Amino acid sequence: MKKAPSPGDEGALKNAVVVRRESAFAVPNPAADQQTTDGQYKPGLGQETGRRERLIQGRVWDVARRGMKSTIVTPDRAARLLRYQKNRTLDRCGGFLASMQIETGGGNRFFMGLRADGLELHTDADRQYVFDLEGRPVRFNTPTEYRFRGISHRGTVMRRPEGMAAGGYERRLLSRGELIESCQEAWRAAEEARGGLNGPGMVQHAFPDSNIAVDRLLPVLERISRHPPQELEREAGLFREVYQPVPVLPPDHYGSLVLQATEGCSFNTCAFCKLYRGIPFRVRAVERFERHLLDALAFHGEGLRRFTRIFLGQANALAMPQARLISILECIGRRVELPPPEEPAPRPVWAHGHRLRFLGIGSFLDGFTGLAKSAADYAELRRLGLSRVCLGVESGSPELLRWLRKPANPEEMRETLRRLKEAGLATDIVLLAGAGGSAFAAGHVRDSLEFVKNSPLTQGDRVYLSPIREYPGSDYARLMDEGRIRRLTPAQIQQQTLQLAKGIRARGPQAVPYRLEPFVY
């Protein structure tokens, strides 16, 4: 291996430049650590640093106690740092609490970046692997393909087909073999990087310095080492002991800690939905929910640091009686930290990277059971941590809602929204683009935009636009066939989505793409 410049090489030191970027997040401060209610420690964020970039004369300190040689990062060596998007080298990407690039004894280069919520590992083969702080892989990226692994040990892939315009991706589930292959590849890369930290290797970049970087990175790499594919398979069984299926989530809760206070759907009659067919609606007893909560926190472990919100599921959890719901939210509040309700909503950094701190609780609700609670009831739930509610409106057309067997009408849903807003809760709604095909297309767009216009939705609220998904053999498919209704083509559904989005934005709320389909958690 090429010998690193020695500390006494004054010529090398004179020209050496270490490029450091102050983290956009705060650097851990052991003195600021706080003990949580379960005896665990969560790192305090210490004093925040700015986004200014500095060039600091200096060198990367020796890590000889691990057998690794240090090196001066000279301009020609800095040019060899692995690169990221927009031609930036990875050392110039913000947000890392510690980072290091090494060249192993085998000649492979790895860039490791520790964030408050996970670890990134980049290779010189244009591979990026992301792990949570418990050591489980969550993403596997290449320049043309993005693979995601859920905590349930199921996965999806987004890939841009050849010839598709920029920004367009196809999404599908990963096969079991594909997922195991990705997990094995990520684990082997992490093992080689860990071996490089523990053995002969060349440091090409370190932040804040080599000793601190190794001390922060190595514990996470050791947790990754304890999660080979066979261990991930075993943990999938544990997941099924803690969780019922997680069929669907609102997009803003894809990265949330899911807690299940109910099972199934409270009405389960919608013609377009098969997500909860065959699952009776049950409300968990408070004692059973508390056991589920503790099991979920233990299962996620350090992986909790990547969650900033809680989602209370499964479907329509807010339909449960008020007294039970209060007890459920109080149970959550005893185990985690939520923002004080009397203070302004904190910025996301308040919860980012903390193990038991969350910005708030969200849940689904439907229009007609929502009327069972008053604005005062919702205000009480807000004081206990509820912050955002997603209402499945589907359409502003009463005729289409009846045809879809949706047990609510626009006036009921508008009144539910009014009560939620009066209580100070953020609200979102879902509309289904293409629902009802050609027979309802014109009325669906017209009445849905009228619903948004006359609703209390404001700037900051979201309208999720999901293309209708037709399941073979579903009630929806049967109704379409019996009525001889022409289905809209994908291009026509996209056109309707754009038409709805334009009208929604003109009225204030955000229009957000969504796909109401089975979700991999």
What are 236-252's pLDDT values in tens digits?
999 999 999 888 898 88
Average pLDDT over residues 147-160: 92
Q: How confident is the model at residue 486 (pLDDT cuts 50, 70, 90)?
A: very high
* In the predicted structure, residue 439 carries a pLDDT above the cut 70: yes
Domain spans, the chain: 10-232, 243-513
List, for residues 294-303, the tens digit of each pLDDT value. Answer: 999 999 999 9
Q: Which residues pair with 109 in a beta bridge?
A: 103
Nearest to 269, CA basis, from 413, 391, 473, 408: 408
Q: Are 82 and 96 in contact (CB under 8 A)?
A: no
Label residues 351-375 b or e (16+ Cβ within 10 Å = b): bbbbbbbbbbbbbbbbbbbbeebee
pTM for this entry = 0.83
For residue 84, what pLDDT is reported?
A: 82
Q: Are 239 and 89 in contact (CB under 8 A)?
A: no
- Cα atoms found within 13 Å of the Cα of residue 159, Cβ hemisphere only: 10
* In the predicted structure, residue 4 carries a pLDDT above the cut 80: no
- Residue 250 and residue 263: Cα distance in Å, rounded? 17
Query: Which CA distances in Å does 147 have to 76, 182, 237, 246?
Result: 34, 8, 22, 19
Q: Are 123 and 101 in contact (CB under 8 A)?
A: no
- Residue 228 and residue 212: Cα distance in Å, rounded? 26
Average pLDDT over residues 485-500: 95
Q: Which residues pair with 357 in a beta bridge?
A: 337
Average pLDDT over residues 330-345: 93
The top-scoring range by mean pLDDT among 151-160, 167-176, 226-235, 312-321 is 226-235
- Summary mean pLDDT of the chain: 83
For residue 42, what pLDDT is reported?
A: 35
Least confidently predicted of 39-43, 116-120, 476-480: 39-43
- Provide the 8-state DSSP code for 512: E
SS (H, E, C) 412-446: HHHHHHHHHHHCCCEEEEEEEECCCHHHHHHHHHH
Q: How confident is the model at residue 366 (pLDDT cuts 50, 70, 90)?
A: confident
- Provide the 8-state DSSP code for 69: B
- Residue 174 and residue 157: Cα distance in Å, rounded? 6
List, for residues 368-381, the tens digit of each pLDDT value. Answer: 889 999 999 999 99
**Which listed CATH number (3.40.50.1220, 3.20.20.70, 3.50.50.60, 3.40.50.2300) goes with 243-513?**
3.20.20.70
* In the predicted structure, residue 10 carries a pLDDT above the cut 80: no
Q: Is it true that the peptide bond before 208 is cis, omega within 30 degrees of 0?
A: yes
Q: Are 324 and 263 in contact (CB under 8 A)?
A: no
List, for residues 380-423, the tens digit of each pLDDT value. Answer: 999 999 999 999 999 999 999 999 999 889 999 999 999 999 99
For residue 40, what pLDDT is reported?
A: 35
Nearest to 134, CA basis, from 222, 215, 254: 222
Contacts of residue 513, defined as CB under 8 A and 6 or more positions apart, other chains included, come to 464, 465, 466, 497
Tokens 């909503």 locate to 345
For residue 268, what pLDDT is reported?
A: 79
For residue 168, what pLDDT is reported?
A: 60
Average pLDDT over residues 460-475: 91
Q: How far is CA 319 from the centre of its chain?
A: 25
Average pLDDT over residues 306-332: 95
* In the predicted structure, residue 148 carries a pLDDT above the cut 50: yes
The share of the chain scoring above pLDDT 70, in percent, equals: 83
Q: How far is CA 163 from the centre of its chain?
A: 29
Looking at per-residue pLDDT, the higher value among 9 and 55 belongs to 9
- One-letter identity of residue 378: Y
Nearest to 389, CA basis, from 252, 212, 510: 252
